[in-house]
Structure 1
Amino acid sequence: MMKNSIKILAQISLLVLLISCGTKENKSDSKEETHERLTDVTVTQAQFKNEGMTLGSIKESSFPDWVEASGMIDVPPENRAVITAFMGGYIKNNPLLIGDAVKKGQVLITLENPEFVEIQQQFQELAEQLNYLKSEYERQQALVAENITSKKNFLKAESEYKRSVATYTGLRKKLQMLHINPERVLQGDYTSQASIYAPITGTIAETFVSKGSYVSSADPIMEIVDVAHIHLELEVFEQDMLKVKKGQKIKFRIPESSDEFYEGEVHLIGNSLNQEGRTVTVHGHLEHEGRTPNFAVGMFIEAQIETGETTAMGIAQESVVDMGDAYYLLQLQQQEGGDYFFNQVQVEIGKTRNGYTEIKNTADFSKGAQFLGKGAFELIKEGSEGHSH
């Protein structure tokens, strides 16, 4: 009986010892896990001071309400010119390429056509006849005044003279529109060529012809665009159009080229609805136009039109680190012996304004929680690459 009691006591003692060891191991694991959680990122006091790091907290801030829009970079109608010929002809000279800069009044292209010579010939012949027709008209006018000739002869002379004057004036105007000097034609200096000049200063945006090809007066030859003043042509959906007002700020970017945002302002709002897309056109002007990149006309843009303000919880923008697929903050867990222990936490962000970014999941953090400001990006970036601190 005594032996059995000792045996049972020994078994109980062994069981208690095993349970106690297991508990200690669990506590040890828990401490290790806690330690790992607390030391995602460790910053020494010297590092914190020397690198000018700062701490910040989530607080109430003002953020804009906006309307989403899309559109393109464009220029005013007076800054765009499609070049056509006054009369058809063959391309004799076409020296310009897309992208070439031209000035108003510069020769763009030269046409050749035998009909140009015919017009000049008709003009000179008619000019010679006018002297006789004018003299005959004045003679008949004097005779009819003295009742020496019939009024019929006078009216005939008057009709022929005035009709010839009209034809002469028309031919002279044609020559001027062809940029052929009428005075040189009157001296017998004919040309089979006519030049077309740039109506505006700008750059060649498109060319539609090649040397030797024939163009009619209806065919476009090239297009010139002056990008000295560009603007935004945006499309806003019907449900948002009443929120948009003149003078509101526009933020836009070129998604195919860069994530950088540029600024503009609503200048005009259309009053007719595009029935196909149920949108209205909004015309915007760029701010600091002289300091913007060389935007190309026709570039697709995504824009946000600020329509008001709302209050939300946010933090300094420098605290938020974009890792491509998610956004993170470094939350201060504890400060011990001058060192700072941070935990990397994922956040949901909203709008950004004046250096502050909206944080949507503020319920995940305790009131008064502090986060690393300056230096957060470098530490999270280095941590993602496997460095230790």
Structure 2
Amino acid sequence: MEKTRNVLKNTLRIVLIIIAVLIVFRIGQSIAKGGKKAAELVYNVGVVKLEKKQISKYLAVQGVIEGDPQVKVFPIVPGKFSRNAVSEGSYVNKGDVLVYVDRDMVGYQYELAPVTAPVGGMVTKLYCIDRGEAVSPAMPVAEIADPSKVKLVFNVGQEDLVKIKKGQKARISFIDDESLSVNGEVYSVPPVIDSDIMSGTVVVKAPNTDKKLKLGMSVNGEILIEDIKGYMVPEKAVIMTESGDYAYLAVDGKAKQTTVRAGYRDKDLIEISGEGLTDGTEVITDGTFRLSDGVKISTGNEPPKPAEEKKGKKQEKKEKAEEVKK
């Protein structure tokens, strides 16, 4: 009886050992399979090739268009408004009567005092309407402007003011329609910066012979600061962070993160410069949000796919059959 019991114990021990070996073997196989390197992804990206081009750098401002000249007209004497001698929109010459003022002083009888035009041009505004309205030398009674020549007067901060020089080319265009535009130049730049507001007043003048621009229009002004040769890329190609700006270059099928200096912007383009940027360098513009330094990329139109080719159906069936046998 004791002998039979020992045989059963030994048999059970052997079975347990065999089972343990099989379990360890299967676990080892699973670990080996799981430890295989995952297929590396290849990201599909869009690129542009760098090419040095002429970059015209403009300083953009906004303002309201005025005539050149555009002046307010004041009476010489105080009194009461009698009547207007002209209507708004009419053209006058220097010296023409615009308004009549009744001096209306007790004990005296005066002829109506004429207010004459100091310059020729179009009457853009008449301030008095009701007869008997009080007027004085401190109150304008009319405004005259020459619409065939225009000017744009604006203030700029000190950081931009130092870039502007008299005679620089400029363009003035209607804020809602760029086709309505005229070309001119910077007429005056202040010799000093106003220390109270840290800015200065600049005047741009331009001919408006065809009267494309109407006086009082809101306009955009563009002053040509400089012409240089450089690289422009879509703004989305540049990733801006607190620690600096960078872009991805396509180099030997991989994305290379490169520090760049972002500069002048023109609509959706931005100027970049930095080490390693030369004509022909490919800068990644699309798909940058998925990238990191060194990942594999493709500049084709295919979607991301494993770098290793997928196995054929026959190969997959063969491997499954081998697994079943094991």
From 358, 363, 376, the counterpart of 2:271 = 358
Report matched runs for 1:63-212 at 5 Å.
63=55, 72-73=63-64, 75=66, 79-93=69-83, 100-104=88-92, 108-109=98-99, 111-112=101-102, 118-119=109-110, 178=114, 200-205=120-125, 207=127, 210-212=130-132
Deviation at 1:11, TM superposition (A): 1.2
Change (3 A) 1:277 1:216: closer
Alpha-carbon distance in structure 2 between the residues aligned to 1:321 and 1:114: 71
Alpha-carbon distance in structure 2 between the residues aligned to 1:242 and 1:282: 11
Alpha-carbon distance in structure 2 between the residues aligned to 1:264 and 1:240: 19
**Paired amino acid for 2:51:** K
2:92 counterpart SS class: coil
1:255-311 Cα deviation digits (max 9, x unpaired): xx56969764233344355343354544323488758643627x68676551x4555
Partner of 2:320: none
Deviation at 1:57, TM superposition (A): 0.9
From 135, 154, 158, the counterpart of 1:215 = 135
Deviation at 1:246, TM superposition (A): 3.3
Unaligned 5+ segments in structure 1 are: 42-54, 121-174, 179-194, 336-346, 374-387
Which gives a bigger RCO, structure 1 or 2 (Cα 8 Å, sep 6+)?
1
TM-score, normalised with respect to structure 2: 0.51
Change (3 A) 1:113 1:312: closer
8 Å contact 2:85–2:100 — kept in the other structure?
A: no
Question: Which structure shows the higher strand fraction?
Answer: 2
Partner of 2:30: 18
8 Å contact 1:204–1:225 — kept in the other structure?
A: yes
Partner of 1:142: none
Deviation at 1:361, TM superposition (A): 7.9
8 Å contact 2:56–2:224 — kept in the other structure?
A: no
8 Å contact 1:204–1:224 — kept in the other structure?
A: yes
1:131-168 Cα deviation digits (max 9, x unpaired): xxxxxxxxxxxxxxxxxxxxxxxxxxxxxxxxxxxxxx
From 58, 65, 78, the counterpart of 2:50 = 58
Tell me the percent identity.
Answer: 15
Partner of 1:313: 231
Alpha-carbon distance in structure 1 between the residues aligned to 2:118 and 2:69: 12
8 Å contact 1:64–1:353 — kept in the other structure?
A: no
8 Å contact 1:264–1:287 — kept in the other structure?
A: yes
1:19 counterpart SS class: helix
1:96-123 Cα deviation digits (max 9, x unpaired): 99xx4221168754555667x9346xxx
Change (3 A) 1:80 1:295: closer
Unaligned 5+ segments in structure 2 are: 1-12, 242-246, 254-259, 287-302, 304-326
Deviation at 1:230, TM superposition (A): 1.6
Partner of 2:15: 3
8 Å contact 1:94–1:210 — kept in the other structure?
A: no
1:66-104 Cα deviation digits (max 9, x unpaired): 7x686845647x62232333554433446999xx42211
Tell me, yes or no, if structure 1 residue 226 matches structure 2 residue 237.
no
Deviation at 1:221, TM superposition (A): 1.6
